[in-house]
Amino acid sequence: MEKQKIILCESLKNDLEQAIKDCPHDKLFILTDEHTHQLCLPYLKSLSLLNDAIEICIGAEDINKTLESLSSVWMTLSNKGATRHSLLLNIGGGMVTDLGGFAAATFKRGISYINIPTTLLAMVDASVGGKTGINFNGLKNEIGCFAPARSVLIDTNFLRTLDNHNFFSGYAEMLKHGLISNLQHWIALLDFDTSAIDYQKLQQLVGESVKVKEDIVTQDPFEHGVRKALNLGHTVGHAFESLALAERRPVLHGYAVAWGLVCELYLSHIKVGFPKDKMRQTIQFIKENYGVFAFNCNHYEQLYALMTHDKKNISDHINFTLLREIGDIQINQTTDKETIFEMLDFYRECMGS
């Protein structure tokens, strides 16, 4: 898989101009959602290279990461004369970069695309690594493919207007990167003052976080081995997310991942010996900043069934990524249904669900 060019921008306009020039094309299309159309696109409109671009705008939020939205993007590309030599510019959060990347990967068997992530979650996770897709049949990212962007342009100035919930949604993925990398990174993330954000320091932390993911993806682009490290917190997190969607109380992806980390660090502790003090410190940070996802024992079977749909599973075994220590990753860990129910008991007890 071709490696993406990750650019930590000093001047977004200059870097975007160069990225577009590096992608020869006949037509340029811009994909936004209702939010980024209003809040982000105007900032770039002064670029002469965008004068003739054709804009496609879809509904905002994960509820619109659907086959219908994807079809509307394909339809506009087709009706407006896109060819295999066209270029798609995705400006938005993870929903836009996931769906836009998949649209680009599948239209005429693949056109080039550039990501400009505008949320913290998209900067450190969704836009980096080449995973694209949509939700389908009530399941997160059920349909998709690996298709890297030509460039990913990261400008943390977009985060100055990000609301608190979306900031912490992205920060959960950064916390995961700290857990799977090294002690210093994990400590820096727990110590970062999220109540009075230093954006220069945040840019540095984002850069470190992106490097963790980029290094892993380079080693294992198609998730046959070490890339599964990036799934820490996601087996349970995706089940929480799918349950929330089914019950029409959707939650932000990063919040589901944070709650999934609580569960999977507990599994890490009981199965491979992850230190209790580090588990408790991480859980305390999550309790203080993410609240709780409420469910009861009547949901256990449904959550278990959702975990069995996870793409990382082999046969009928639920596959987890666990940690023996910070940075000591244990992939392909399976456990029985009884232990999973005990894990859900632990979550409810320690989080106050």
Query: pLDDT tens-digit profile of 125-171?
Result: 888 888 999 999 988 889 999 999 999 999 998 999 899 999 999 99
Q: Are strands 151-154 and 5-8 parallel, antiparallel or unpaired?
A: parallel
Tell me the domain boundaries of the chain. 5-161, 168-351
pTM of the model: 0.88
CATH 3.40.50.1970 for domain 5-161, yes or no, is: yes
Query: pLDDT tens-digit profile of 192-241?
Result: 999 999 998 998 999 999 999 989 988 988 888 999 999 999 999 999 99
Q: DSSP string of 55-82?
A: EEEE--SGGG-SHHHHHHHHHHHHHTT-
Mean per-residue pLDDT of the chain: 94
Query: pLDDT tens-digit profile of 110-122?
Result: 999 999 999 999 9
Q: What is the mean pLDDT of residues 8-19?
A: 94
CATH 3.60.140.10 for domain 168-351, yes or no, is: no
Q: Do domains 5-161 and 168-351 have the same CATH topology?
A: no
d(CA 198, CA 35) in angstroms, rounded, equals: 25
More confident residue, 332 or 312: 332
Q: Token match 């649209």: residue?
A: 103
Tokens of 120: 């913290």
Closest to 13 in 3D by CA, of 155, 129, 200: 155
Q: Say if residue 316's pLDDT is above 70.
A: no
Q: DSSP string of 178-207?
A: HHHH-HHHHHHHHHS-TTS--HHHHHHHHH
Q: What is the reported pLDDT for 312? A: 63
Closest to 116 in 3D by CA, of 167, 61, 154: 154
Closest to 45 in 3D by CA, of 25, 30, 27: 30
